[in-house]
Amino acid sequence: MKKNIKDLDYKEVTALINELGEKEYRAKQLFIWLYEKKITCFSEMTNFSKELRSRFDEMFVVSPLVLEDRQISGIDGTEKFLFRTLDNHFIESVLIRSDGNDEGRLTICISSQVGCPMGCKFCETAKIGFKRNLSTGEILDQICHVRRITGLSNNNIVFMGMGEPFMNYDNVLKAADIMNYTFGFHLSVRKITISTCGIMPAIERFIDEKRPYNMALSLNDTEPEKRLIFMPVEKKYPFKSIASMLNNKFPVSRNRLTIEYIMRKDNISTEDARRLKKMFKYARIKLNLIPLNSGNHELPIPDKSEIEAFVNELEIMNVPVTIRKSMGSDISGACGQLSGKKYKLNNSSREQQC
């Protein structure tokens, strides 16, 4: 079975090039073809000899994902992409355009696992259960497809699609490092955010390794008993322990920590605001408030006045507080709505493969 060329980082590609008896500069050329020019076949690499292209084709696949469906929101232009893996699993990625608050921002929300093992009650992905981790190449290929299909070059990446990124730590961080190369995707470390529901050993490893990427912690409750109901990870990794560790470690980190807080009707009281203000005293944080999106659940969704009252309580927290607008809700592309559903397809929607 052929290997996935996008699973290899620059060091590994350089070693491969040397093994093939080629000059080392070919490694950089290959990355430009893969990630800047977004080729679909090795035959497109016109500055490589026919013999070298043939050898690559014998050993590797260029793209480990196949486009199955593309949907475009009629509300805000958000685009959702359904991909099939080579072993017939399904994942989704979302292209999110600026909502006006951050002009020029173009974000791709990517998946890190097929399904998810964490079991969060408000998340459609959790209902699939866990199938497997995505490889580095499958993570990167989502960006290649979206850029090629849309003709747009995103300037922001969030690991907030299907799966828990820190349960696939090595592949996720390897993919982020490749995104940050000066050739290829050209993405700044400050434009790559990795989200987690609170995998404490991985969070500590991330900080101790001095990884330069932004980190987002999905919190969603200020009471342990209540958080446990909605996020089973609370039992193994209590958020109070995580908060204590972050207060000790993040003040000396260059990273900004984003707290993602999904607002339900029952977790935005005055007491919740007070507890939230006390929780992170020293970490350099940003608070993202996300209204709960509709889905196959019976969780209470807050109204506009309740959200405004909660924000007013948080204003004296002296940290940036943002209400994140739900984008792509009409195509089930918003936070917590990705399910990897296999849609009935019109053959014309399939992307041609070499």
164 as an active site residue: the answer is: no
Q: Residue 164 and residue 73: Cα distance in Å, rounded?
A: 25
pLDDT at 329: 66
Q: How many CB atoms lie within 10 A of CB 267?
A: 23
The token pair at 241 is: 């322990």
What pLDDT was estimated at residue 286? 83
Q: For residue 107, list its beta bridge partners.
A: 96, 156
Calculate the dihedral angle through the C-alpha atoms of 344, 347, 348, 352, rounding to the nearest 10 degrees: 120
Q: How far apart are CA 310 and CA 322, in angstroms?
A: 12
Fold of 65-346: TIM Barrel (3.20.20)
How do the domains of the chain map onto residue ranges? Answer: 3-61, 65-346
CB 3 within 8 A of CB 58: no
Give residue 349's pLDDT: 42
**Confidence tier at 41 by pLDDT (50, 70, 90):** very high
pLDDT at 333 over 50: yes
Tokens of 113: 């696992």
Least confident window among 27-31, 55-59, 66-70, 246-250: 246-250
Kindly state the tokens that stand for 84.
């099939």
The residues, any chain, with a CB within 8 Å of residue 258's CB and separated by 6 or more, are 193, 214, 215, 216, 217, 285, 286, 287, 288
Catalytic residue among 68, 79, 92, 164: 92
Where do we find the tokens 């408030």? Answer: 289
pLDDT in tens, 311-329: 888 877 677 788 876 666 6
Q: What is the CATH number of domain 3-61?
A: 1.10.150.530
Over the chain, what is the mean pLDDT? Answer: 87
Q: What is the per-residue pLDDT across 136-177, written as a single tens digit (0 to 9) for each?
A: 999 999 999 999 999 999 899 999 999 999 999 999 999 999
Q: pLDDT digits over 284-311, tens only?
A: 678 899 888 765 557 778 888 998 889 8
Note if 92 is an active site residue: yes
233-253 pLDDT, tens digit each? 999 999 999 988 888 877 655
Specify the pLDDT at position 1: 84
Confidence of residue 352 (pLDDT cuts 50, 70, 90): very low
pLDDT of residue 304: 87
Q: What is the pLDDT of residues 167-209, one digit of tens each?
A: 999 999 999 999 999 888 989 999 999 999 999 999 999 999 9
Given 109, 144, 197, 335, which residue is catalytic?
335
Confidence of residue 217 (pLDDT cuts 50, 70, 90): very high
pTM higher than 0.95: no
Q: Could you read off the pLDDT of 80-125 as tens digits, one per residue?
A: 999 999 999 999 999 998 765 566 789 999 999 999 999 998 888 8
Retrieve residue 16's tokens: 């491969």
Instruction: State how beta strands 156-159 and 106-109 pair.
Output: parallel
% the chain with pLDDT above 70: 86
